[in-house]
Structure 1
């Protein structure tokens, strides 16, 4: 019976010293790492200069090369490998690569910034994000205005069906929630006014408080905030879903402009409906105040509306003139965030939330600027 020859790679490596010559043999691989390490620990490193012979090694990998480098020392092994002219080129390259990795200097530690520097860096990043949002909003507003001016003298390009549908969705369907909310807020303002002014015996001025609050501020800002949460989010979700389903690409393929077909009707609808909703909000707020005045302060409705008749008309106009500006900003932000959707359901939700937050922020910011302007103008 003939015996098969033993596998040379199964023989662990060995070290033989013959005078000033150190001969390595066997398999210097990861499979024999433990045996090789124990063998080298029992054998001392030769002193002085000697020759290293590696031609008897059957197999060599990075584990065996690293073990040999740690035993002899990287610099010493490098000199021996360079001097050994009989060494195969691939093994020479392997040994030199391992030696280079072992002698590589560690990366310098990253300096830890102070909390002040981290805070300033964070502030700078957030400032850049806000500036970029304002820059994108300015560019999108310019694109909307360009589209509006390009079709204003071309009646055959007006999308009347889409406009009427958006007026119905954003205006008529929003009347109940706007009326209910402003009625309750009007009642709360009247309660607060009666509580504070009652200490001075001036409950009658609660009527003026409710009138000035809703004519100048509460009517328009409550309606705008409700539209920011209700309508801007709807615009973003609708346009974002169309972009995720590649419907916007289909419109462009058919030669239709998404700005003209989707954005302009929504912007015009909000420009029409928000002033009307502001009027509804003012009437509802005054009705809530009148109810509280009648029940808690014993002010008859005739006297209540008689005091309202003495309020100058300019206060109503100051509140109403801000409605188109708020409507334009809310509609533009809602549509812009819809176009920024990347194509997933998560992106639709993220940009819908961003549209609501940005719209409410811009409404409050513009209202504060308008209040300062009207105060300086004496209006």
Structure 2
């Protein structure tokens, strides 16, 4: 599988975290060097790094940088590290992996962890994510019968994770097993993660990809070419409702109408079992300028406002399978989620 996993979004340098600037891809391949937790928080907020698992990993290393900056010699230094953890937590509100990773780092700190133990914990979070992606790749690929193409939305590959990817990890694995011959990728407006990032990753790996705007998805499904829509997730509730990049919900409705199966791929850390319904998930609304402007140029009339939610919620009843590193949840509901993920 290493043939189809050549990209890395994060590089830990012990005294700095280098993040591949995803705002500049595919035109420029450039890393942003962060040496403080504040710089990591700003990089997350500014979309230098994005994708729920990658955000969590970056935040974990941000805590290590906070420990290096402030030291852990006394209660005052620990307090400053905790303040930086809170800054990291506020960088983006929807992706639960961020809070999950920070809670793990908080626990190490609360247990009197040294700088070495904090770094070890962050490295473990990164490695666990990569291993989980490989397992999910195998589980998800096994569901795909050869003969039809797949459609994906946003970016869920190596750029969004520690490596290989969640939904894109399934697609990469399925391609290696000759279960999938061609991938269709939505542009994913307004940040165009599908056009700039997913298409770039697949091209780097030599996997055939065709780009389409979201508005063409229904017509594509109508052709009968698509067997599965495969997406990632930023938060999943106890009953299996899924928050993911805006446009996912619409794809699920279209897939159900056209008899196309719908797969969500996410590690167990993406589940928020404290939430029962998708209505409880906080949805990030981003600046209007991301919709009204393009490449620094206004494309909407002056004075016209834009609604720019970054995510939407797909109800569990529209999902055929949620693939996790612990196993596959078919036709998810609270009981089936509990059987694989656990919880009350």
**Larger Cα-atom Rg:** 1
Indicate whether the TM-score tops 0.5.
Answer: no
Structure that is richer in helix per residue: 1
TM-score for the superposition, normalised by structure 2:
0.21
